[in-house]
Amino acid sequence: MTSAQQPVPARPTSRDVARAAGVSQATVSLVLGGKWPGRVSETTAQRVRDAAAEIGYRPNLAARSLRLGRTRTALLVVPALTNEFFARVYAGAAELAAEHGFGVVLYPSIDGTGPARDPFASARAALDGVIASSMAADALGALHGADLPLVMLDSDPSDTGPAAHVNLDIADGMRQVTDHLLGLGHRRFLHLASAVDTWTFAVRAGALHDALGEAGDATVRTVRAPLDVRAGREAAEQALSALGERPTAIICDDDILAAGACKAARRLGLRVPDELSVTGFDDLALATALEPELTTVRLPAERVGERGMEALLAVLDGRPAERDGLPVRLVVRGSTAPPPGRA
Amino acid sequence: MTSAQQPVPARPTSRDVARAAGVSQATVSLVLGGKWPGRVSETTAQRVRDAAAEIGYRPNLAARSLRLGRTRTALLVVPALTNEFFARVYAGAAELAAEHGFGVVLYPSIDGTGPARDPFASARAALDGVIASSMAADALGALHGADLPLVMLDSDPSDTGPAAHVNLDIADGMRQVTDHLLGLGHRRFLHLASAVDTWTFAVRAGALHDALGEAGDATVRTVRAPLDVRAGREAAEQALSALGERPTAIICDDDILAAGACKAARRLGLRVPDELSVTGFDDLALATALEPELTTVRLPAERVGERGMEALLAVLDGRPAERDGLPVRLVVRGSTAPPPGRA
DNA sequence: ACCTCGACGTTATACGTAACACCTCGGGGG
DNA sequence: CCCCCGAGGTGTTACGTATAACGTCGAGGT
Tell me: pLDDT of B343 over 80.
no
Within this chain, do residues A39 and A78 fall inside the same structural domain, yes or no? Answer: no
- CA-to-C1' distance for A52 and D28, Å? 37
Rounded-to-integer distance, Cα A14 and Cα A25, Å: 6
**B77 shares its domain with B197:** no
How many domains does chain A divide into?
3
| Helix (H), strand (E) counts: chain A | 13, 11
Q: What residues in B contact A120, CB-CB < 8 Å?
A: 58
Q: A228: pLDDT confidence band, cut at 50, 70 and 90?
A: very high
Separation CA B327–CA B325 (nearest Å):
6
Q: d(Cα B296, Cα B288) in Å, to the nearest integer?
A: 10
Q: Is A332 exposed, middle or buried (0-12, 13-18, 19+ CB in 10 A)?
A: middle
Alpha helices in B242-339 (DSSP H): 255-267, 285-289, 301-316
pLDDT: which is higher, A234 or A120: A234
Q: What single string gives the DSSP state of each residue in B141-192?
A: HHHHTT---EEEES--TT--SSSEEE-B-HHHHHHHHHHHHHHHT--EEEEE
Q: Residue type at B117?
A: R
Clarify whether residues A82 and A107 are in a common domain.
yes
In a domain, A64, yes or no: no
Task: Give the per-residue pLDDT at B126.
Answer: 74
Angle between helix B170-184 and helix B199-215 axes, rounded to 10 deg: 30
Would residue A175 count as lying in a domain?
yes
A324 band by pLDDT with thresholds 50, 70 and 90: confident
User: Is A333 among the domain residues?
Assistant: no
Of A269, A343, A256, give the one whose Cα is nearest residue A296.
Answer: A256
Q: Are residues A245 and A140 in the same domain?
A: no
* Neighboring chain A residues of B126 at a CB cutoff of 8 Å: 60-62
Residue B326 lies in a domain: no
State the number of CA atoms in the 13 A half-sphere of A187 facing the CB. 9
Nucleotide closest in space to A62 (CA vs C1'): D16
Residues in chain A: 343
Q: Is the pLDDT of residue B117 over 70?
A: no
Q: Which residue has the higher pLDDT, B40 or B116?
A: B40
B250 part of a folded domain: yes
Answer whether residue A318 shows pLDDT above 70.
Answer: yes
Secondary structure of residue B102 in the 3-state scheme: coil
Q: Which of A3, A84, A98 sits opposite B117 (nearest CB)?
A: A98
Tell me which DSSP letter residue B8 carries. Answer: -
Is residue A230 in some structural domain? yes
User: What are the tens digits of pLDDT across the range A20-56?
Assistant: 999 999 999 999 998 888 889 999 999 999 999 999 9
Across the strands, what pairs with B277?
Answer: B249
Asked if the model's pLDDT at residue A94 lies above 60, the reply is yes
- The answer to whether B231 touches B260, Cβ cutoff 8 Å, is yes
For residue A316, which phi and psi values (nearest 5 degrees)?
A: -65, -30
Residues 6+ apart with CB under 8 A from A315: A129, A149, A151, A163, A164, A321
CB pairs under 8 A between A and B: 151
Nearest Cα to Cα of residue B177 among B220, B135, B217: B220
Q: A100-155, pLDDT tens digit by residue?
A: 888 898 887 665 444 456 666 666 667 899 999 988 877 777 777 677 899 999 99
Q: What is the pLDDT of residue A13?
A: 93
Per residue in B295-304, pLDDT tens? 999 999 999 9
| CB neighbour list of residue A137: distance below 8 Å, 6 or more residues apart | A109, A112, A196, A198
The pLDDT, as a whole number, for residue B110 is: 60
B71: closest chain A residue by CA: A124
The answer to whether residue B127 sits within a structural domain is yes
Which of 83-102 (A) contact B at CB < 8 A?
84, 87-88, 90-91, 94, 98, 101
- Mean pLDDT within B72-77: 91
Domain that holds residue B113: 71-168+302-316
pLDDT of residue A206: 97
Q: Is the dihedral of CA B214, B270, A291, B267 positive or negative?
A: positive
Please answer yes or no on whether A289 and B123 come within 8 Å at the CB atom: no
Neighbours of A267 (CB within 10 A): 14
CA of A313 to C1' of C6 (A): 37
- Evaluate if residue B27 carries a pLDDT over 80: yes
CATH of the domain at B175: 3.40.50.2300
Whether residue B174 sits in one domain with residue B164: no
Are residues B175 and B277 both part of a single domain? yes
Chain D nucleotides close to protein (CB under 7 A) are: 7-12, 14-20
With CA atoms as reference, the chain A residue closest to B117 would be A98
Residue A160 lies in a domain: yes
Q: Cα separations (Å) of A310 from A199, B5, B261? A: 22, 24, 40
> What pLDDT shows up at residue B2?
38
Cα–Cα dist B113/B116, whole Å: 7
**How far apart are alpha carbons B213 and B207 in whole angstroms?**
10
Q: Is A318 on the interface with B (CB under 8 A)?
A: yes
For A89-122, b where at least 16 C-beta lie within 10 A, e where not — what string?
bbbbbbbbbbeeebbbbbbbbbbeeeeebebbeb
Tens of pLDDT, residues A189-215: 999 999 988 999 999 999 999 999 998
B290 and B195 belong to one structural domain: yes
Residues B147 and B210 in one domain: no
Which distant-in-sequence residues (6+ apart) come within 8 Å of B308 by Cβ? B76, B89, B92, B93, B131, B151, B153, B166
Kindly state whether residues B308 and B289 are assigned to the same domain.
no
B291 to A262: CB separation less than 8 angstroms, yes or no: yes
Q: Could you tell me the CATH number of the domain that includes residue A41?
A: 1.10.260.40
Distance A23 CA to C11 C1' (A): 13
Same domain, B97 and B38: no
**Nucleic strand D within 7 A of Cβ A71:** no
Q: How far is the CA of A135 from the C1' of C17 (A)?
A: 35
Claim to verify: residue A289 and residue A177 sit in the same structural domain: yes
Same domain as A180, residue A274: yes
State the pLDDT confidence band at B122, using cuts at 50, 70 and 90.
low
What confidence tens digit (pLDDT) does each residue in B183-209 have?
999 999 999 999 988 999 999 999 999
Closest CA to B273 of B208, B218, B332, B329: B332
The residues with which A224 forms a beta bridge, in sequence order, are: A193
